[in-house]
Amino acid sequence: MEKVIVEKSAGIIHVRINRPEVLNACDGETYNAIADAWDELENDPGLRVGIISGAGRAFCVGTDVEWVKSPDADGYVDRLYPRMLHMTKPVISAIHGHCNGGGLEQALACDIRICTEDAHFGSGEIRLGWIPGGYGTQRLPRTIPLGPALELLYTGGRIDASDAYRLGLVNHVLPDENKLMEKAEQIAGEILKSAPLAVQKMKRTVLDGLDMPLPQAVRLEKESFDFLMRTEDSKEGALAFAEKRAPNWKAR
């Protein structure tokens, strides 16, 4: 059985973690297969948005603790999280059930998070004597307020979907998995209407700018704006708007 199922259609790559018997806990092969999918998204001009989800009763409970005991586990975060850190194309996480540990870290690495009403979130590494190894100590306090982030990190506790929405961890809460995937694809479809190169520049400008002092971040925005205004797509976008038609984007 494939540990990760990858499907592509109409500019979207769907990545589904497929280890339902262990609530989609990830071993090295699983992490590498997900990283391969994000490499494909980044390098294929025909792919513009990623959606990641989980099979069975969970999104992902994190790293497979049994596998961590093996010699193969050394360096398991060396590919996936650096890959996601430097991506230019947007990724949506569609979360149901458990989203814990490394599963939460994968969700935090995505641009947009949505979940079902039964979803719950936590960072339980501290209960194992670990700390997060996939940038969870850095991403969580950048995503939700510091106090709630530290409480989750220090205690290994969990929050439900309503708290996740209240804290800004997720954008939308849906009643079930069918509605969840409909919403993920609807958001992806809206992104596909935008200029591909502008979306990529937008992502890097926003995310890179967050870690800069404001004057430097403003310069980055100006550089990105000036670059895009020199492209054919900027002219096409304005012309299509004036002519009341869909634009024909060229750059990928």
Report the CATH number that the domain containing residue 93 is assigned in CATH: 3.90.226.10
- The mean pLDDT of 88-99, rounded to a whole number, is 98
For residue 249, being part of any structural domain is answered with no
Do 107 and 188 fall within a single domain? yes
Do 205 and 80 fall within a single domain? no
pLDDT surpassing 70 at residue 75:
no
Residue 42 annotated as catalytic: no
For residue 250, being part of any structural domain is answered with no
Do 185 and 216 fall within a single domain? no
The answer to whether 44 and 50 are in contact (CB under 8 A) is no
Q: What is the pLDDT of residues 137-163, one digit of tens each?
A: 999 999 999 999 999 999 999 999 999
For residue 248, being part of any structural domain is answered with no
What pLDDT is recorded for position 70? Answer: 76
Q: Which of 21, 105, 177, 221 is catalytic?
A: 105
- The mean pLDDT of 100-127, rounded to a whole number, is 97
What pLDDT is recorded for position 69? Answer: 75
Q: What is the pLDDT of residues 38-74, one digit of tens each?
A: 999 999 999 999 999 999 999 999 999 888 777 776 6
Distance between CA atoms of residues 27 and 176, nearest Å: 27
Do 47 and 95 fall within a single domain? yes
- The mean pLDDT of 179-188, rounded to a whole number, is 98
Do 76 and 164 fall within a single domain? yes
For residue 69, being part of any structural domain is answered with yes
Averaged confidence pLDDT in the chain: 95
Distance between CA atoms of residues 192 and 213, nearest Å: 31
CATH of the domain at 214: 1.10.12
- The mean pLDDT of 16-38, rounded to a whole number, is 96
Do 179 and 55 fall within a single domain? yes
Q: How many domains does the chain have?
A: 2
What pLDDT is recorded for position 252? Answer: 78
Do 186 and 215 fall within a single domain? no
Total residue count of the chain as it appears in this document = 252
Q: Which domain holds residue 206?
A: 196-243
pLDDT surpassing 70 at residue 131:
yes
Do 181 and 230 fall within a single domain? no
What pLDDT is recorded for position 72? Answer: 72
Residue 105 annotated as catalytic: yes
Residue 251 banded pLDDT, cuts 50, 70, 90: confident
What pLDDT is recorded for position 77? Answer: 67
Q: Which of 7, 66, 125, 190 is catalytic?
A: 125
Do 179 and 206 fall within a single domain? no
Do 109 and 229 fall within a single domain? no
Helix (H, G, I), strand (E, B) or coil at 133: coil
For residue 82, being part of any structural domain is answered with yes
Do 175 and 235 fall within a single domain? no
What pLDDT is recorded for position 177? Answer: 96
For residue 88, being part of any structural domain is answered with yes
Contacts of 228 (CB under 8 A, 6+ apart): 195, 197, 198, 201, 234
For residue 252, being part of any structural domain is answered with no
What pLDDT is recorded for position 76? Answer: 64
Do 187 and 205 fall within a single domain? no
Contacts of 83 (CB under 8 A, 6+ apart): 35, 38, 39, 42
With a pLDDT cut of 70, the percent of the chain lying above it is: 98
Tell me the pairing of strands 91-95 and 58-60.
Answer: unpaired
For residue 80, being part of any structural domain is answered with yes
